[in-house]
Amino acid sequence: MRLGELAERLVVRLEGDPGRALEGVGTLRGAGPAQLAFLANPRYRKDLESSRAGAVLLREGTACPSGFSGARLWADDPYLAFARASALLHPPPVVQPGIDPSAVLAPDAQVDPSAEIGPLVYVGRGATIGPGVQVGSGCHVGDGVEIGMGTRLHPRVVVYAGCRIGQGCVLHSGAVIGADGFGLAYSGSGWERIPQVGRVIIGDNVDVGANTTIDRGAIDDTIIEDGVKLDNQIQIGHNCVIGAHTAVAGCVGIAGSTRIGVGCRIGGASMISGHLQIADDTEIAGGTAVTRSIREAGVYASVSPFMPFAQWRRNAAQLRHLDELAKRVRALEQAAGIVHHASSDPPPESE
């Protein structure tokens, strides 16, 4: 792609030869003359001085080092512009319409002629595969499943019966959509399985990472709204609702019947208990254990070593009053005339 065309499609300001051809993207250190790089963090400014990239995306108002000889593309958000440029320079594989001879389709399955069905795929009774869908080798598409236009299933994705996937989604290998939720009733002598009769409904433009599992609802549906981005190895329990444009990093566990708001950001390895409400635009740091509903947007974090549950519960109860206790201690110290002087020495290192 020519630089001039790229700048026009990104709606950014170009300083350089519009006829220069670019073939891909790269880092400031590794990019060559036919690649585009970006500078969003000032810490990497030194890498730009010696970069061989053919062009670089910079934030408007940033001074470009004189040592860089490539073209400049000026953007309000260079990282976002780079993401869009990368998609333009590295488009997904073109759909190859047709059904592989080794695929098995139920007689009443409906597959659009423009869809691609790979080797050893199974498509169940009453399933509907929309226009431009790619179903990779070894996928299982259950009875009554609906897959919307332009969605891509990488090899070995399993979609259980009755689930619905919207348009423009990407499901990576090993993803399992619609397995039974963890619904059990204890009889006194053992566990009895509760039939899970809901579905999983996935909106448009949703990404589901490798080996991520989304359980079907026990009665109502599990719902993943438009634009949600799920990393690898995430577990989403039955009857959860994940609000539009929420991003969830790897190894997060979300227990059943939790409702997560719109535009949330959930860090890796966080654990969210069941039947909770998470407010819109909430950010949860990695490794955080969320055991109560979050009613107000903000940034939340907690990391503590494991301990016996009874001890943890007592400590958590005390911790909730820590700020109040600190204020009381300061008031008592002031009343007693105790003055603390700030130290310039750094805190001791943790053992």
245 is catalytic: no
Does residue 128 form part of some domain? no
Does residue 283 form part of some domain? no
Identify whether the C-beta of residue 145 lies closer than 8 Å to the C-beta of residue 130.
Answer: no
Does residue 70 form part of some domain? yes
Rounded Cα–Cα distance for residues 143 and 25 (Å): 41
Q: Judging by DSSP bridges, how do beta strands 184-186 and 191-193 pair with one another?
A: antiparallel
Rounded Cα–Cα distance for residues 196 and 239 (Å): 10
The tokens describing 179, both together, are 């397995």
Does residue 290 form part of some domain? no
CATH assignment at residue 52: 3.40.1390.10
Per residue, what are the HEC states of 180-198? CCCCEEECCCCEEECCCCC
The tokens describing 78, both together, are 């260079």
Rounded Cα–Cα distance for residues 347 and 351 (Å): 12
Supply φ then ψ for residue 229, to 5 degrees. Answer: -120, 115
Rounded Cα–Cα distance for residues 222 and 252 (Å): 17
pLDDT truncated to tens, each residue of the chain (351 aa)? 999 999 999 999 999 999 999 999 999 999 999 999 999 988 888 999 899 999 999 999 888 888 899 999 999 999 999 999 999 999 999 999 999 999 999 999 999 999 999 999 999 999 999 999 999 999 999 999 999 999 999 999 999 999 999 999 999 999 999 999 999 999 999 999 999 999 999 999 999 999 999 999 999 999 999 999 999 999 999 999 999 999 999 999 999 999 999 999 999 999 999 999 999 999 999 999 999 999 999 999 987 667 898 998 888 888 888 888 889 898 888 888 877 655 444 444 332
Kindly name the residue from 154, 172, 238, 245 that is annotated as catalytic.
238
Number of domains in the chain: 1
Does residue 7 form part of some domain? yes
State the DSSP code for 262. T
Does residue 78 form part of some domain? yes
Does residue 264 form part of some domain? no
Give percent helix, percent strand, percent coil of the chain, each to the nearest 5: 15, 25, 60
Q: Residue 85 sits in which domain range?
A: 3-89
Does residue 53 form part of some domain? yes
For the chain, the C-alpha Rg in angstroms (whole number) is 26
**pTM, 2 dp:** 0.84
